[in-house]
Amino acid sequence: MTRCPALLIAAPASGQGKTTITSALARLHTRQGRRVRVFKCGPDFLDPYWHALASDAPVYQLDLWMTGEADCRARLHAAATEADLIIVEGVMGLFDGEPSAADLAVRFGLPVLAVVDASAMAGTFGALAFGLQHYQAGVPWAGVLANRVASERHAGMLARSVRDPKHFMGAVMRNPAMTLPERHLGLTVASEVTDAMERLDAAADALATTSLGQMSVADLQHWAVDFSPPVAETVITPTLHGTTIAIARDAAFCFIYAANLDTLRALGAELVFFSPLADQTLPKCDALWIPGGYPELHAQTIADNTSLRDSLAAHIAVGKPVWAECGGMMALFETLITTDGVKRPQWGLLKGEVTMHKRLAALGPQQLHLASGILRGHTFHYSTTVTSLEAATRTTPPNTDPMPDAGEALWVQGSVRASYFHAWFPSCPEAVVELFS
């Protein structure tokens, strides 16, 4: 066992400010010279950018289904061996999803700190905190933090509403300076926000005035957790040794799990990165990965980069593999139609058109059955695609067999495999080898 203070920061719903508070707490302790490791519950790409900036350390996902209990256990134990504090940000509401953030807290004994947007409540704040604490048996409880509070008087009303005073972790006042900017898929990527660190510092300063923010490392020992080591080490055969994989990475294609890069390296691949927005040609490579992101925000730039399109076409013409996920797939089609009806030509390497919508088109955990095994992952997109291509197979919800008309299509054309499906590579390294071979 390795012992380390840990918190799971949750909320009664999305939009309460738990990402800001998680990053603020990480930034506060990192500024004080402590080693902080942050994790994100669920298949989120965007929040980890802020947590990584705040903690100056890589951020990994924890999900009892997608990443699996063994993977979660191994990552938490590894973090505990080197960190002074572990912070896990929950997903949606505390009890939302199967499995939920509460399930993760119970499984690993993570004390839960609830962040509640208290801007429109007083006494009900205490009732909500009591319900979150007691709704599911066995959830370890750290306390509740009031967010977006109007005044000191308001803060006093909220504090008095909590049944056990020691569970009130303080009040964070409304402050536009600490707001993290959002867009249609979630938070804006931290690297695109010019004053990102200033926002994190403002949030850390605000949190420093609360009971939570004033805790020392000795105080945090009240929330120390024993993290057991993994039952067995995961051994990955370097089957891709000698293979160079080029990975698109820029403002348009940025949905990349750190664990996916780790898996490719463990498989022996050499990774090189390029920008489809700025580079004229692909780097020298044997295979290509175009991850998801925001091609719809850069559609004209993508269309104008005909030199890169020609380089992609040459790569495909000689049969070199391409794995295109979600936004990466969208750019391969002929046309992208924006939410206001404007048609933008894209690379035109797959037949069909993509239409953006103002509402989610798909969301949830998915798995992809390949000849080499089953890749776990998820889907999350605001667009739909019309194409003459026939689906080679389709993803399915967890623990179900492939069905002809359900899930996300896997389109295969020559050496190109493309889907809205976002894969978690550590779930099946053998299938990853298949994608890039």
- Give catalytic residues, as residue numbers: 326
From the list 325, 353, 326, the residue with the least C-alpha distance to 338 is 353
Q: How far apart are CA 325 and CA 366, in angstroms?
A: 13
Q: Rounded to whole angstroms, what are the CA distances from 297 to 77, 303, 412?
A: 39, 12, 26
Handedness of CA 368, 381, 45, 75 (dihedral sign): negative
Nearest C-alpha neighbor of 301 from the set 346, 349, 249: 346
Distance CA 55, CA 313 (A): 40
Dihedral class, residue 24 (left if φ above 0, else alpha if ψ from -120 to 50, else beta): alpha
CA distance 393 to 407: 9
- Give residue 283's identity as a one-letter amino acid code: P
Find the length of the chain. Answer: 437
Peptide bond into 99 cis (omega under 30): yes
